[in-house]
Chains A and B, each alone.
Chain A
Amino acid sequence: MEILGIFDRGKTAAAATREILEGELGEVVSYSPVPDHALDQALHVSVSPVRVFVLVGGLLGCFLGFAFPIYTVLDWPMITGGKPLISIPPFVVIAFELTILLGAIGGMIGFLVLSGLPRVFGRPAPDPRFTNDMTGIAVTCARDHAAAVRACLERHEAVEIRG
């Protein structure tokens, strides 16, 4: 079952989260209007793997930025201005821009995939105040832990408890 605690301060929500997790009473998902570092610490949030997507995108962009111009000049060899066909310095500009472009696109894809977005037709947030001024923690727990979870939420000054 799911129990929702609504708090008017992130710190109290974080304290409740910490206690629930330490007591192994259930699993917690938090909702907040801003990124909350106290909640992150309570939830033992690890470093986001978005960085891997950025790195892979950037490396791919850098590779394509050199490989594509080199392929095109070899595909139709035309010497202009006495310059070598494979002129690395001007291709650095293309490689640089594509590194940034694909790094950013990779990061965006990573963010969307890892965050489960877009979810246009999915279930809305349990309370519209979570994008305004309230912090919420949704606790998924076994029925025999429900009373303990509610007590914990009350102890940490939840302004509202549902479920």
Chain B
Amino acid sequence: MSFAKINDDILRTLRPPGVLYYAGLALALSALATGTAAFLHQAQTGLGVAGYEHPIFWGIYITDFVFWVGIAHSGTLISAVLFLFRAKWRTAVARASEAMTVFAVMTAGLFPIIHIGRPWFFYWLIPYPNERELWVNFRSPLIWDVFAITTYLTVSAMFLYLGLMPDIAAARDKVKDWRRPIYRFLSFGWLGTDRQWRHYTALYGFFAALATPLVISVHSVVSWDFAVSILPGWHSTIFAPYFVAGAIFSGLAMVITLLVPMRRIFRLEHYVTVHHFENLAKLMLATSLIVGYAYLTEFFIAWYSGSPFEQGTFFDRMFGQYRGYSWTMFACNVIIPLALFWKAVRTNLAVLFVISIFVNVGMWLERYVIIVTSLSHDFDPANWAGVYQPTWVEAAITVGSFGLFFTLFLLFVKNFPAVSITEMKETMDRSAEADPASAWPEPV
């Protein structure tokens, strides 16, 4: 393995794609078109086409919002937190995770807008001097969300782009077709001089240091959307760590869901090895255990609080009309991931892929269960009769969000290096310094 081989192998992914890629892109675009049509229908008709019914006025859209913000988290964990811990194995999976972060936050950011009655006034969320002479309420967690999500999107996008800059320059110097001037423009004229590398490495470290507390703060802020209310099932001090662990758990599952086919389609087996997947699976197992512990703690708190409303909500969650969702969630997020204790499972990519799908489903259901069951069982027994039935519009918009996410991801991996060329070379360089006989680990 040499620098030139790494360059060639990774830039090979930019060649014209095959049928499988186009089939995936067509599927994603169809889903996106379906969601867009449903949203236009809702915008024209009004929010009544969603299945909201008193007292449940947060439903699938907020579920989707929390789900997609959560998905974003593992990208930052891998790119920033593991960077600070000097975990070298992150190199192979960092780029795809970072891109996933940016696209997941972009998708998440649409849902509060879809959820509001007049989406064309979404900019009222932003504090600016206006003719109404009103300011936003900075004490509201919904405004905290605006700041947290905007900051997360901006910082993640800059982090991704910074890492991409030398790789785009490598693509610029390699490709000969019409994309060359585009790469030249996007590389910002990167030369790779000692001066540029000096500032680059400094800023990369700072971005990692800034993104680490940011990733913890973002899902904490999202959890406070719920926790600062007084609703039984939401008003809990464990929500912030519980949400952060859940976010990283779901994000890791999505990384595995994306990387297993990507590795196969782009023939990246030498770079994204089974060893990397095993490490991701270990992290997923650890976060699954934290999430399982949080679920049980919630029930303990409900029992120990002595509050009949809190106890009623949690009893209803597991044995009421939404029990199917709750038990499925528990199975997907706590029981099934226990299989990851076995190395044979962690190193079998097909099984790992299936488990990751279960976790994705389970984590979406977790948000649905938290939001809907708590709203449906508040302090007033007269409200308990309401049943939230999602409509086809909400289902179509959810499908559309997956379409948007996968469209962006597929376009990204075909037009930009899907594995960090620079970091791969750096890792190889350091391995060679430490032990010249084994300059590069053999693929598993």
Binding site for B on A (CB under 8 A): 10, 29-36, 39-40, 43, 45, 47-48, 50-51, 54, 68-69, 72-73, 75-76, 80-81, 83, 87, 90-91, 93-94, 96-98, 100-101, 103-105, 107-108, 110-112, 114-122, 124-125, 128-133
Assess the B192–A98 pair: CB atoms within 8 A. no
User: Which A residues are CB-close (under 8 A) to B195?
Assistant: 29, 114-116
Assess the A117–B192 pair: CB atoms within 8 A. no
Q: How far is the CB of B440 from chain A (nearest CB, A)?
A: 14
Q: Give Cα A131 to B193, complex, Å.
A: 10
Assess the A110–B199 pair: CB atoms within 8 A. yes
Give the residues from 226 to 249 in chain B that come closer than 8 angstroms, CB to CB, to chain A.
Answer: none
Assess the B2–A133 pair: CB atoms within 8 A. yes
Q: How far is the CB of B284 from chain A (nearest CB, A)?
A: 27
14 interchain pairs, CB-CB under 8 A: A35-B200, A35-B201, A72-B136, A80-B139, A83-B139, A93-B147, A93-B217, A104-B154, A111-B203, A115-B195, A116-B195, A118-B189, A129-B173, A133-B2
Q: Give Cα A124 to B190, complex, Å.
A: 8
Nearest A residue to B184, CB-CB = A120
B53 within 8 A of A: no
B269 within 8 A of A: no
Nearest A residue to B8, CB-CB = A132
A34-B197, A115-B195 known; 9 new pairs, CB 8 Å cut-off, are A33-B7, A34-B3, A93-B148, A103-B206, A104-B207, A110-B199, A120-B189, A125-B192, A132-B174
User: Which B residues are CB-close (under 8 A) to A116?
Assistant: 195-196
**Given A76-B134, A100-B213, A100-B214; A132-B202 close (CB under 8 Å):** no
User: Which A residues are CB-close (under 8 A) to B174?
Assistant: 128, 132
Q: Give Cα A39 to B185, complex, Å.
A: 28
Assess the A36–B197 pair: CB atoms within 8 A. yes
Q: Give Cα A118 to B188, complex, Å.
A: 4
Nearest B residue to A78, CB-CB = B137
Q: How far is the CB of A32 from chain B (nearest CB, A)?
A: 6
B87 within 8 A of A: no
Assess the B206–A132 pair: CB atoms within 8 A. no
Assess the B173–A117 pair: CB atoms within 8 A. no
Q: Give Cα A155 to B111, complex, Å.
A: 63
Number of residues in B with C-beta < 8 Å to the partner?
Answer: 58
Most buried by B among A50, A68, A91: A50
Q: Give Cα A120 to B192, complex, Å.
A: 14
Give 9 nearest A-B pairs by CB, closest first.
Answer: A119-B189, A48-B202, A133-B3, A72-B135, A128-B173, A118-B188, A69-B138, A133-B4, A101-B151
Q: How far is the CB of A30 from chain B (nearest CB, A)?
A: 4
Give the residues from 277 to 299 in chain B that come closer than 8 angstroms, CB to CB, to chain A.
Answer: none
User: Which B residues are CB-close (under 8 A) to A96?
Assistant: 213, 217
Chain A interface secondary structure, helix, strand, loop or mixed? helix
User: Which A residues are CB-close (under 8 A) to B143?
Assistant: 94
User: Which A residues are CB-close (under 8 A) to B203?
Assistant: 48, 50, 54, 107-108, 110-111
Nearest B residue to A112, CB-CB = B188
Q: Give Cα A72 to B134, complex, Å.
A: 9
Q: Give Cα A26 to B210, complex, Å.
A: 39
Assess the B190–A117 pair: CB atoms within 8 A. yes
Assess the A131–B217 pair: CB atoms within 8 A. no
Q: How far is the CB of B231 from chain A (nearest CB, A)?
A: 16
B422 within 8 A of A: yes
In the complex, the number of residue pairs spanning A and B with C-beta atoms less than 8 Å apart equals: 182
Binding site for A on B (CB under 8 A): 2-4, 7, 127, 133-139, 143-144, 147-148, 150-151, 154-155, 158-159, 162, 166, 169-170, 172-174, 184-185, 188-203, 206-207, 210, 213-214, 217, 221, 422, 425-426, 429
Q: Give Cα A103 to B212, complex, Å.
A: 13
Assess the B150–A101 pair: CB atoms within 8 A. yes
Q: Give Cα A109 to B139, complex, Å.
A: 31
**Given A50-B199, A117-B196, A133-B7; A72-B127 close (CB under 8 Å):** yes
Q: Give Cα A33 to B151, complex, Å.
A: 31
Q: How far is the CB of A33 from chain B (nearest CB, A)?
A: 6
Nearest B residue to A81, CB-CB = B139
Q: Give Cα A118 to B165, complex, Å.
A: 11
**Among A33, A69, A111, A119, contact of B200 (Cβ-Cβ < 8 Å):** A111
Assess the B137–A68 pair: CB atoms within 8 A. no
**Among B170, B189, B199, B214, contact of A111 (Cβ-Cβ < 8 Å):** B199
User: Which A residues are CB-close (under 8 A) to B151?
Assistant: 97-98, 100-101
Assess the B137–A33 pair: CB atoms within 8 A. no
User: Which A residues are CB-close (under 8 A) to B422?
Assistant: 33-34
User: Which A residues are CB-close (under 8 A) to B162?
Assistant: 108, 111
Q: Give Cα A93 to B151, complex, Å.
A: 12
Q: Give Cα A43 to B206, complex, Å.
A: 23
Q: Give Cα A58 to B170, complex, Å.
A: 32
Q: Give Cα A39 to B198, complex, Å.
A: 11
Q: Give Cα A98 to B127, complex, Å.
A: 14
Q: How far is the CB of A137 from chain B (nearest CB, A)?
A: 9
Q: Give Cα A32 to B195, complex, Å.
A: 11
Q: Give Cα A45 to B201, complex, Å.
A: 12
User: Which B residues are CB-close (under 8 A) to A104?
Assistant: 154-155, 158-159, 206-207, 210
Assess the A40–B198 pair: CB atoms within 8 A. yes
Q: How far is the CB of B189 from chain A (nearest CB, A)?
A: 4
User: Which A residues are CB-close (under 8 A) to B158?
Assistant: 104-105, 108
